[in-house]
Structure formats: C-alpha cells, structure tokens
Chain A
C-alpha cells in the first residue's frame, strides 16, 4: 500500500515525514519543480513526482491501485475535487481524503461521493470559538454549520435569572428547548421562570448565537 499526497507544501512535507517514519511508502505529487527539489533533499525515502495531480494523464503514470491511500492537499478546492473524483472513479479508490479550503464545500463534496473531507478552517475556527465562549457555555454540536446547540449555565447574577421565558430578549431564530434544574428536565413554556443554577439547552441559528449569549448572560 502506498500513500499518495497530491499538492500541498508544508503540510505535505510534514505528513510525508511522519508517514515515512512509520514505514509507509509515500508518493508526493506537486506542480512546483523547485519545491520538489527541496522536498527530495529533505525526504530521502519519498517518491516525488512533478506534475499536476488533478490531471488524469499525470495520475495514470503513477500505478495507483485501489488499495492505495489517496490524499489531496492543494489550496484549491476545485483541484482537490477533480483529483479525488479521478482517484475514485478511474482507480477505484473507495475513500479518497480531501482537504477543503472553503468549509461550505464539505456538503457539496459529500454529494459528489467524496465523503471524507478535512477542513483546517473549521478545526481552527472551533478552537477559536472555544476560547471565545465563556466557561458557562458548552457547544454541544461543535461541527455543525447549520445549527448551534448550547448548554448554558445560569449564575445568580445572570440577567435572564428571575425572568419568564417570554420576557427574554432572545432572537426569534432561537429557542430554549429544555431546562435542566437539579437533575430534573423541564420543557419550558413562556411563563417558566429561569433560576440561578439552571442549565439551559438552547437551539439557534449560528448567525444569532452571540446575541443569544448576550441576552442570557449579559456582555460576552
């Protein structure tokens, strides 16, 4: 089994180094000749090919089999998509792995049969968001782009405490789906009063989540 790494600069280098250290066979395909000379010096055991890895005639020279791993790492989603589709349809690789630059493209890649995608933007964004959120806020579905589900702990001084749900200034695109109070689950109505120590399960559109936090916890 070989691992084909298509495109990518530093990320390809570091991946290759790691895979080679573990004893795998690695083939790097890159358009940039200068980069390849550099890589060849630093990665003695790797096979390095100069060429556009999204082009079928380039891939056809590489003796790719359906047992190999195929990973696309270029900074262009269109090149990653075309290379992955070629790997899948021409060489029978079941699960090519594609880096995606625009996280929104994940759904489109899936629809076209590329199920395994990695989005560095998403990963870093999640790490950033976890730092932005106060410690009372837990993101229950961190990977979703469509919906935010948060568990928010109320403290005695939180602005929402003592208010009825209907009095809260939370956005229309959000709802408090459940309140966990002392181990009991309460499905709230408009007249339910929020108490200190309550854990609110809040559903909202991601676009309004910061105004939800503000309404419930004050300044965020």
Chain B
C-alpha cells in the first residue's frame, strides 16, 4: 500500500479522542485499513506515536470542549472512539457525540466498572479494560464457569 495514497473514497470517517497507546494503536490500524481517521489529543507530543503509515489528521484540543468536537467534525463521523486516560472525559465525550451530534457508533473506554450500566443506557458502547482483564485471568485460571463476579 502506498504511503502517498492519501485519500481513499471508501472507508469510514472515524474520530478518536486520546492518542495514547490504545488510541494511537487503533488509529494506525484504522488508517491502514483505508478509513479516514482524525485523532484528537491535548498534547502535541502524543501524536509522535502515530506510525508513518497513518494518513489521517491530528487535532490538538481538549475533548471536553464542544469546540474541539466541532473542529473534529464529530457530527459527520460514522464512529467516535473516546480513549483518553480519564474515565469521566471519555464518558462526557461519548455522551455528547451520541446525544448531541447523533453519531451512530460511539465507543468509550471506561476503567471503573461501576457506571457501565448507567451510561450504556444512552446507547454508548463501553469497553472496560478492568472487566476484560478479570475475564482473561479467570479464563487462564480455568475457573470460568457460568459464575460471574
């Protein structure tokens, strides 16, 4: 695949908030797959973890400011991913993307399993690394029956 192949008409428009290890990893992968990707982070240095194959755009901005979501054209996004290190920021960005900008798929990473039910009611998909790790560990230890918690 050519690196200079900047615009591909196919693929989705995806906005990712947070360019940490997870955000940049997903951004690189989605970009390589031919999607138009915009990555937003407060810190310019964060974008250094994007690979040279990343052909999308980067925006320096705070995910909790409505202005940033407008600059990133969230209202046109097919998918919004909220992957900053802060749970509440991810919840807020995801809820606004869903309820205010009517984005059809919104996924937020939230560490605290406490609030998953409440925020899922808004139609936001929540990925909880804590629960995923718990499940993985249960699986490796072989105790994973139908017995949750």
Any B CB within 8 A of the CB of A82 = yes
B115 lies within 8 A of A82 (CB)? yes
Smallest beta-carbon distance A92→chain B, Å: 13
Smallest beta-carbon distance B65→chain A, Å: 5
Partner of B86 from the list A78, A104, A108, A112 (CB cut-off 8 Å) is: A78
Interface residue total, chain B, C-beta cutoff 8 A: 21
B92 lies within 8 A of A107 (CB)? no
Docked pose: A107 CA to B65 CA in angstroms: 12
Docked pose: A131 CA to B89 CA in angstroms: 36
Write the A89-120 contact mask toward B (1 if CB under 8 angstroms, else 0). Answer: 11000000000001011011001100000000
Smallest beta-carbon distance A164→chain B, Å: 38
CB contact list, B75-89 vs A, under 8 A: 86-89
Most buried by A among B65, B95, B121: B95
Which B residues touch A107, using CB under 8 A? 66, 100
Chain A contact residues, majority secondary structure: helix
Most buried by A among B66, B92, B100, B115: B92
B86 lies within 8 A of A111 (CB)? no
Which A residues touch B99, using CB under 8 A? 108, 111-112
> Which residues of A approach B to under 8 Å, CB–CB?
54-57, 76-79, 81-82, 85-86, 89-90, 102, 104-105, 107-108, 111-112
6 contacts between A and B (CB under 8 A): A76-B64, A78-B91, A82-B87, A104-B65, A105-B66, A112-B122
> Which residues of B approach A to under 8 Å, CB–CB?
64-67, 86-89, 91-93, 95-96, 99-100, 112, 114-115, 118, 121-122
